Structure 1
Amino acid sequence: MNDKQTETSQNQELASERFNLVAKATHDVIWDWDLVKSTVWWNEGMQLIFGYDQDELEPGPDSWYNRIHPEDQERILKHIHDVIDHGGANWSDYYRFRRADGSYSHVQDRGYTIHQDGRPVRMVGSMQDVTAQILSQKARQESEERLGFALKSAQLGTWNYNPASNLVEVDELSSHFFGYQGKLSVTYQESLQSVHPDDRKRIQTAILSAIENKNDGSYSAQFRAIHKHNSSVRWLQSKGQAYFHSNGDLYRFSGIVQDISDQVANQEKAYFADQQATMTIEGTGAGSFLLDISTDEIIYSPTMAKILTGESSLALSRDVFLRHLHPTDIDIRDSAYRHAAESGELNYEARFIWNDGSIHWVKVIGRYLFDKNGKGVSLSGILFEITDRVQAEQKLRSSEEHLRSLIEQAPVATALFVGKDMVIEIPNKPMIKIWGKGDSVKGKPLAQAVPELVGQPFLDILDQVYRTGETYHAVGQPAELNMDGTLKTYYFDFTYKPLLNKDGQVYAIMDMAVDVTSQVMSGKELKKSEERYRQLADELEVRVKQRTNELHVANQELVNSNNNLQQFAYAASHDMQEPLRKIQSFSSRLQANYTEKLDENGVFMLNRMQDAARRMSEMIDDLLAYSRLTTTKGELTPVDLNLIVAEVISDLEIVIQEQNAQIEVGNLSEILGSSRQLIQLIQNLVSNALKYRKPDQSPFIKITSRKVEYEEVTSFSNVLKDNHYICLEIQDNGIGFDEKYLDRIFQMFQRLHGKGEFNGSGIGLALCKKVVQNHHGYITARSKPGTGSTFMVYLPQPA
């Protein structure tokens, strides 16, 4: 090997050593692609950055191809092969490369082609992960887009002053504000010429204060701008910030500008209105004040002290506003003063604590007077007590909340439409379900929220109700709605009720709707059925007439039969008494004369015969009483219930004493009735109370009456429409009964207990019911087993 070859070999070894050192030192992924052997070598960066071990990488270029993002693969392969095939030396590109965990990195890849004898034999390069830079750039771009959108939405223009070029760069909106006719760059002096002469010096002073870093470089001012071409004047609000190098030199002054002409005009209108109100309100007890800002001296009207403290005073300092301000409202006042420092207008409402501890709402309105340098000189204003108004507003809010609660909890579909556009304000869940659009309808005009209503009559009806203030009600109105994803016809009963404000004007409409689709469809089916059966009805009419005549004859025969049956029942019951008395008489004689001659079984049968005869006698007596009630048709006359009850107690005196019973009688009313029947009624009820007593407790019976309204008895049949009614209550402490048997106890021969427990015929309460029916009344009871019973008898009073 000659010296030249030796030197070449040494240089190659040195270059290889340097390459290896660079591959280890760099944070990039270094790769070496042998184009002849089609192999690729990767340094340790492939594992450190992308997570691939050397043994899992393919030996050839597939280790690179297969990990390029599918959307980038074709572009990258075409680009790198174009460079190689056309003898290019350098290749560079951006693409996405898959990590070992499956995610993708954004990479910048650069390669250098080595040629030998005019053909490419090798390419060496480095791959750098630039994901963080890409994402940061994207986030910055999105942030700038959002800022631009926000500025455009808020109608804010931007400006930037470059002190090096002495140029003010503006966006299109700022150019429009100043009347630059589309120019986006003007000199600093030219920009000042757009400021109104009366404001120009103040603005120059504010700008110099910012760019000389006298107030942390901040800038805020309101001024009038003169349009460069048509000389129109508009009020602008401008805010900015000056930026300085470390040595204090200004390198940028930028900010925003906003048109506040409408706001200033409204403030001026409000100010003049306030001034007029001041003169008016002073005469009605409002207070006024004037504050000298330089001396803190306050001049006030005599009534201001009383409004703030509750007492008149001739010596007040400025801190009277703070000393008596409610602690909770301090932030309200501070915020109002911060706003006033920018706008010049002071306006706030807050609570003040009087000397006696009471709390009162006060409204404060003021205006700053500035000198030519924009410095506040004085603050003048008025204040007046608004406690009544605030309380009224609180009541109104409470009323609105109550209305909202009523609508939300309404059992039928209900919604409130506000304004002429019928904005949906409070729809409840049933109404939202009918519309089938979800909560997205809230806050939208009805025509926009439920577009299928356009072309149907509802929107026109709502407009008519809003204009006339007249309630509209519809029954079975068809509506085309997309309730379940398909446009179908539904039917509703609904009401549009206009709501009026304090001035009597319609401000909203309440819609209440009931889905009656099923009823309407049923009605239609019924109508078809009626048509089908109409012919049958005509045919039946002839048969009905024939049947009516037959029924008339049968009814007459039934009346005659009932009369005969009643006479038979009375005669049978009366004629049965004679043989029954003989049975009782002979059985008594047998018991008296032959008891000793009978064995035990004979005595038992004789006693059973006497007991059966006794019960038969009682049943006949009750049947006779019931028969007489049925046939009694005498006129009802005024009856004093106190006398009736007294007579019944007298008749039952012996039984009452034997059972040691107590009877408490209240002051009873006069009723319309039959004395004889009422005695039977009350005697049966009192006897029942004595009969069904508890074995271990003396009976206690309470008899009272109360007047009832006619509405309480309207559901009863057979009542007298022109009469008031009373309720007679007979309460006992007996054994009681289960109310599920309430209907049964008033039926003939119905008993809840065996004959061995309590004697009786089972006719007593049926007799009571008949007496009450004869008096156009009603009888019922309430009871529980073991807790006694209360029988309630509704009887008419004299008209």
Structure 2
Amino acid sequence: MKLTETINGHEHDLLVAIERFELVAKATHDVIWDWDLEKSTVWWNDGMHHIFGYDPAQISTGPDSWFDRIHPDDQDKVIRKIYSVIDQGQANWSDFYRFRRADGSYAHVHDRGYTIQSNGKPIRMVGSMMDITEQLKSEQAHKESEENLKFAMLAANLGTWNLDPDTKMLLFDERCLELYGNPADEFLSYEKVLKYIHPEDREWVMTAVAKALDPELKRDYDVRYRTIGATDGILRWLHCKGKAYFNNFNQPYRFAGVSRDITDEVATQQKILWADQQAAMTIEGSGAGSFFITLNSDEIIYSPTMARILTGTENKQITRDVFIDHIHPDDVQTRLDAYAEAEQTGELRYEARFIWDNGSVHWIRVIGRNFYDSAGRAISLSGIVMDMTDRIESEQKIKTSEEHLRTLIEQAPVATTLYVGKDMIIDIPNEAMLKLWGKGNSVIGKPLREALPELEGQPFLGILDKIFQTGEAHSEKGARGDIVIDGVLQTFYYDYTYKPLRNSEGEIYAILDMAVDVTEQVKSLQALEKSEERYRQLASELERRVQQRTEELHRANAELINSNNNLQQFAYAASHDMQEPLRKIQSFSSRLQSIYTKQLDENGVFMLGRIQDASKRMSMMIDDLLTYSRLTTREVEFEAVPLDKTVSAVLADLEISIQEQGTQVTVEPMPEVWGNRPQLTQLLQNLISNAIKYRQRDQVSVIKISAHDADESEMASVPKILAAHSYTCLEISDNGIGFDEKFLDRIFQMFQRLHGRGEFSGSGIGLALCKKVVQNHYGHITARSELGKGSTFIVYLPKPDKK
């Protein structure tokens, strides 16, 4: 029965047809649609939901539900074509276009429709829509892959070849034919192609092919050889790679690969070798040494300069073993690691210590390069050696100078720190600065804005930013600063200086902050201004002089932190500019005390007394710091120093103190030591003075000075620096008050005291000076003591070299 008869009224058959249609629609993975042309309605099956995400029940029934979802660029073409089929009464229609999914994306579809006609007129169109998006992507990816492979082959200038192991016939592509000089032969056999290979390389190639086709070996084919062009006679270097394929019977059925022209690369390597030989002559003129090693025989060609750099003499006969025999034992692994890396990269580079024939140690830099033959095997090593000892020693001196700078900042008597970079990272604040901020060590390494957030809104951060931009230093006296201490915002006043520090390129990398808390002075000044005019004038003059002295101290301390040159300037300032204001303060305060004592109240008299005590302590501290800085910055000359004469001179200088204290001094025979006479005199004077000063009041003070040669067992725990010298052990013993040995490390630090100033006078720098003198002499100082039973200070000093 025809479908048209069903449409004309056979309801039963229509229901059967509809049921079959729906079963077909469910069985397919396509979207099935039915367009009633007379009623202008469109029906969609569930595929509309599964494939495109639409619920068919929620889609409008008109054809616009279809047409409106066609991509705008495809819509006009599709609609015109489908109506053309309908108008012309054609049986079917198909097209490719883009259809919008429910999520807004577009799918590529292949849509096909078939018309149903009644009385020669189309009344319905039934069709199916297939999502071909993934298929198109796969085809496009495959196409791009083929194009990329073709492009890569062209870009790499590769030719392809294929050898039939049975017939021994070769199939070359166009590029491969070019690499063999375009042979005129229509068919190329393996034997024919061998004739185009250079005679010296032919055996090497045949061996490689045989190993690749051997079922037992199945070696990868990777060879470099020369060809002589079949028609043009041109010599070419080729690099060929390939692989043989074997069947289930372990028989080769295919041998294929690629060939690449490396003629220019080989020529470049040869030019590099020649250039390297020319460079070796230039290297010799620069003070470096050159060498050339043939790897298969270890034969070495070297310059006299290289022999001198590695062994200390130019006339010594050198073999390659010099790189092993003379290297420092601790650096052997460094050399081994460098050669292991050179096997991978072809570049040799390392720095190590070499021991000369005379026993001295030198830092040597070795730089080399491997050179390869046509088969890629390393055949030679060419390189240079350079003596880096001076550079490394200079770096060590710079490091030592930086450590001295850090020590001076940490031990400076005023609050000092560095702000590094534009973020103003807090670096090496000394104890005085941490106390001034009241924040502890937690601020170290943090940006200033983060560590002290209360500074926001105050002028300090803006001033620091401006210094980083302009490079102009800034200082201020009596500046107000509000700091949070113990959770409470408190007001202080400071004399401070911001000084920019520049690196070797002249760029500002940090700002030095030196500050003095003058809160008490400012508050005292404010109180004095409320008093009588005469007292206000006196306080104003006194404050001006104190501020002048503080400013000079800032400048001197700022000079301390830069370098040894800055330390020298500090020494000059300490010896001249700083002592004079102190003397004036002492002089004027003494005159005030003698003339105006009756006119001052009790508080004023107390303050004058405090000023005098503070100025005396400051004068003593400056003298000791000056002495310490001279020990740090001045180069000293060593000589043989007889300790017996030095001890006698020191005892003569201390004769009055010895007599006043009733001290008994015993001196045993003294040897000579290797050192600087003035510094050793200062060392002995400080140690003997301490022995006299820290005596017990209820018994006779006894001091014993002795010396002996330090043996190996005694020196085992002592850091021995001068290898060419033996050492003398100097001991200064007393029966004084002694100290607890748990404070042994502390007593040699600056400004560290175990007793109050009321018990024993002093600046707290004396033993730090002693330690510095001993360090300058490459020696060691320590002590033994027990409370109430005296102390023994032990000093190890080098003896004169007897060679």
The question of a shared fold, defined as TM-score above 0.5 by the shorter chain, is answered with no
TM range (shorter): 0.3 to 0.5
TM-score (norm 2): 0.39
